[in-house]
Amino acid sequence: MRVGLDSNIYVSALTLPGGTADIALGAILSGRATALLSEPLLGEILRVLGHKFSMDREELARTALFLGELTEPVAPRRRLAVLADDPDNRVLECAVAGHADVIVTGDRAMLKLRRYEAIEVLTLRAFLARIDAEP
């Protein structure tokens, strides 16, 4: 399963060990899903970790390296303006460019879409339930 994770899912996984986002990252680490990541999305993740969680440059560099190894890089070719919050559009762009099966988010506006093009939009819990149900 190809997955576009919202930047907040990555941030939660990296800052709240043992939480549901961390469990989702574990499923990706184990190869049960392929996470997609674009440069704009990585930039947003690192910005939040630096500003809200006071990570220094060295920690951010290690995080970028870890995410680069964990995820499949994606280079979106078109800009979208579907949602009012611009960072949410970067999530959609990454998912579309990476041919994602699902987008995983806790964002209400994105969840209201339920689907964007052929990509289903799921909560983190729904994603984990789907991963657990797969053989």
Q: pLDDT 10s per residue in the chain (135 long)?
A: 999 999 999 999 999 999 999 999 999 999 999 999 999 999 999 999 999 999 999 999 999 999 999 999 999 998 998 998 888 999 999 999 999 999 999 999 999 999 999 999 999 999 999 998 776
Q: What is the CA angle 6-12-14, rounded to 5?
A: 110
This prediction has a pTM of 0.91
Domains of the chain: 2-133 (3.40.50.1010)
Measured from the Cβ of residue 31, the count of other Cβ atoms closer than 10 Å reads 7
Please report which helix (H) or strand (E) contains residue 22, including its range.
helix 20-29
In this structure, what are the phi and psi dihedrals at residue 121, rounded to the nearest 5 degrees? -105, 120
